Amino acid sequence: MKKLLSGLLGMFLVFAVMNTTAFADAKEMRGAWISTVWNLDWPTVGSRNNQAQQKQEFITLLDKLQATGLNSVIVQVRPKGDALYNSSLNPWSDILTGTQGKNPGYDPLAFMIEETHKRGMEFHAWFNPYRITTSGTDVNALASNNMARKNPSWAIAYNNALYYDPGNPQVVNYLVETVAEVVKNYKVDG
């Protein structure tokens, strides 16, 4: 019995030391969330339709975050059933141009990832899967390629806003495809 207990204790100590070493080597994540809905953190309302200004605002924001010792950003890339990236599934976000579905003339996600990685920082994509609008429930006001406009039964109106129905299997598949599209086409870190 003593040999069994000694053996178990020995194995426990070996695993504990291995686990501690692995944990000590882990990189600490020090990040900031960058909210794009309502143009809260980026881009500013004043930079709509101005690619150069949007880019400079993001560079300035990254430089400030890096100067404070942060090594990661978590950027909202799908604020309202739309996209801050070139997507075959979702329309361009209105936060870029003021009009949902209008091409901003560049790929903001590709730009943001490139600038973030230039600084040795990580870029994490943040998706709001269910929010379609922040105000208004008319699906016809959405871009023609918005899935809620194409499939009105996927949307639920609540508190003067629209949300995708999380209980609808078609919605779930669409959202999985949305995330997979970004993972496949962009070098996000998380």
Is 142 inside any structural domain?
A: no
Structural domain contains residue 82:
yes
Indicate which CATH number applies to the domain containing 95. Answer: 3.30.750
Instruction: Let me know if residue 140 belongs to a domain.
Output: no
Residue 10 lies in a domain: no
11 or 77, which is more confident:
77
Whether residue 101 is contained in a domain is answered as: yes
Residue 188: pLDDT over 70: yes
Write down the mean pLDDT value for the chain: 91
Number of separate domains in the chain: 1
In this model, does residue 54 exceed pLDDT 80? yes
In a domain, 154, yes or no: no
> Rounded to 10 degrees, what is the CA torsion of 58, 63, 66, 71?
30
Convert the pLDDT of each residue in 56-96 to its tens digit: 999 999 999 999 999 999 999 999 999 999 999 999 999 99
More reliable by pLDDT, 107 or 12:
107
Q: What percent of the chain has pLDDT over 90?
A: 86
Measure Cα distances from 7 to 3, 14, 178, 188 in Å: 6, 11, 50, 44
Q: What is the pLDDT of residue 117?
A: 99
What pLDDT score does 27 carry? Answer: 85
Length of the chain (residues): 190
Query: What separation in angstroms does the CA of 123 have from each of 54, 105, 116?
Result: 17, 22, 6
**pLDDT at residue 149 tops 50:** yes
**What pLDDT, on the 0 to 100 scale, is given for residue 9?**
44
49 band by pLDDT with thresholds 50, 70 and 90: very high
pLDDT at 23 over 90: no
Residue 148 lies in a domain: no
- The model's pTM is 0.85
> Is the bond leading into 43 cis (omega within 30 degrees of zero)?
yes
Q: What is the pLDDT at residue 33?
A: 98
Tokens coding 9: 């204790």
What string of DSSP letters covers 97-135? Answer: HSSTT---SS-HHHHHHHHHHHTT-EEEEEE--SB--SS
* The predicted structure's pLDDT at residue 96: 98
Whether 71 is covered by a domain: the verdict is yes
| pLDDT for res 129 | 96
Distance between CA 190 and CA 188 in Å, rounded? 6
pLDDT at 169 over 50: yes
pLDDT greater at residue 77 or residue 10: 77
- Structural domain range at position 75: 29-131+168-185
Using pLDDT thresholds of 50, 70 and 90, give the confidence band for residue 53. Answer: very high
